[in-house]
């Protein structure tokens, strides 16, 4: 179990440090975490933990977090089976049909836009990272799909022609401590839909995260640590700001290292439902995973589906 924002890696390994219950200061200062993986002992250097105060950040965290390292080493490596299950959920629960139009809000590198377009929908993907948009456009041109990708701020972008379905997937929401800023995404989704159109927001199940909280865990992608991507994620709950904060320490196969901070607002599932309802959505349903299971303390995702009144 993990409190990770995502489950990006093929292999999940619980951190030794969390098992040893080391004091946080000791973990932060220790600089070294030892792992036994596939019977090989590996040594992972960890930078000292220096929390970044919000007021020192010049620009929103996501503008530096979502770079080529994250794009290539996380988004592009996501399990194809899991992506397929997400696409199946979208077609099934949003009653999406080939020929209909879809707005993929915060589309990243087109991970979902491309397979949805492959099934005959016209997809518009919007993301604020220009390299992600270039990559998605290139992939859709190669496959001659009915897709367009636009680099823009999704808090402002509204579809020029109203569409049948809007999706916001894989924790692309709740990045600000300010509710009004987060709600803009839901409002733009609502304004982009035809009457009767469907919306799905895929978010973290914060009830699950709090119940299973781990302040540190290690993700390893690949069979052999020496040639794999290793990510050590250090998480903390900011009870005052109501934010779940996570430092991602990337150890790349080429030996390079990066450290970056991600933050999302602690919205419980019932709060996510209320946010959609307050934007005007109706027939709101909550799911705990893409198998359409009900949301509980044991399901990692909070997928909220709503309909714009006809
Ligand atoms: C975790 S990634 C998910 C990408 C994609 N939805 C997927 O499932 O693969 C979050 C994405 O949201 C985008 N994003 C965050 N805030 C945004 C905003 N205000 N406008 C446009 N894109 C945004 C980021 O650039 C990033 O590509």
Task: Say if CB 154 and CB 60 are below 8 A apart.
Answer: no
The answer, yes or no, to whether any atom of ligand 1 lies below 6 A from the CB of 171, is yes
61 lines ligand 1 (CB under 6 A): no
Cβ of 263 below 6 Å from ligand 1: no
Residue 239 CB neighbour total at 10 angstroms: 8
DSSP 239: T
50, pLDDT greater than 60: no
Domain that holds residue 285: 1-310
Closest ligand 1 atom, CA of 168? 6
pTM for the structure as a whole? 0.85
Q: What span, in angstroms and rounded, lies between the C-alpha atoms of 126 and 258?
A: 26
Q: Of 80, 307, 85, 84, give the one whose Cα is nearest residue 200.
A: 307
Nearest-CA residue for ligand 1 atom 27 is 108
**Tens-place pLDDT, residues 58-101:** 688 888 899 888 898 888 888 899 999 999 999 999 999 999 99
* pLDDT tens for each residue of 147-182: 999 999 999 999 999 999 999 999 999 999 999 999
The CATH code of the domain that includes 32 is: 3.40.50.150
| Residue 146 and residue 121 in contact, taking contact as beta carbons nearer than 8 Å | yes
Count of structural domains within the chain = 1
């Amino acid at each position: 179990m993990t409190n990770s924002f995502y489950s990006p890696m093929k292999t999940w390994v619980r951190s030794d440090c969390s098992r040893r219950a080391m004091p946080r200061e000791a973990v932060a200062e220790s600089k070294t975490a030892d792992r036994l993986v596939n019977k090989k002992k590996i040594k992972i250097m960890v930078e000292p933990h220096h929390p970044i105060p919000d007021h020192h950040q010049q620009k929103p965290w996501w503008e530096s977090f979502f770079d080529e390292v994250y794009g290539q080493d996380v988004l592009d490596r996501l399990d194809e089976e899991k992506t397929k299950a997400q696409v199946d959920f979208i077609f099934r629960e949003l009653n999406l049909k080939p020929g209909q139009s879809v707005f993929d809000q915060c589309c990243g590198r087109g991970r979902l836009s491309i397979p949805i377009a492959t099934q005959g929908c016209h997809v518009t993907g919007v993301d604020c990272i220009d390299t992600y948009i270039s990559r998605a456009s290139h992939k859709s041109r190669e496959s001659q799909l009915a897709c367009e990708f636009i680099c823009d701020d999704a808090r402002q972008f509204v579809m020029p022609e109203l569409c049948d379905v809007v999706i916001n997937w894989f924790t692309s929401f709740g990045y600000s401590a300010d509710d009004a800023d987060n709600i803009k995404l839901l409002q733009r989704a609502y304004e982009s839909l035809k009457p009767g159109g469907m919306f799905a927001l895929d978010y973290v199940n914060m009830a699950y995260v709090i119940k299973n909280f781990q302040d540190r865990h290690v993700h390893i992608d690949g069979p052999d640590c020496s040639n794999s991507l290793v990510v050590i994620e250090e998480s903390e709950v900011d009870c005052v700001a109501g934010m779940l904060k996570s430092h991602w320490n990337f150890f790349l196969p080429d030996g390079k290292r990066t450290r970056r901070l991600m933050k999302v607002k602690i919205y419980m599932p019932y709060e996510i439902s209320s946010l959609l309802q307050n934007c005007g959505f109706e027939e709101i349903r909550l799911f705990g995973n893409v198998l359409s299971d009900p949301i509980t303390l044991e399901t990692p995702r909070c997928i909220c589906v709503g309909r714009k009144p006809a």
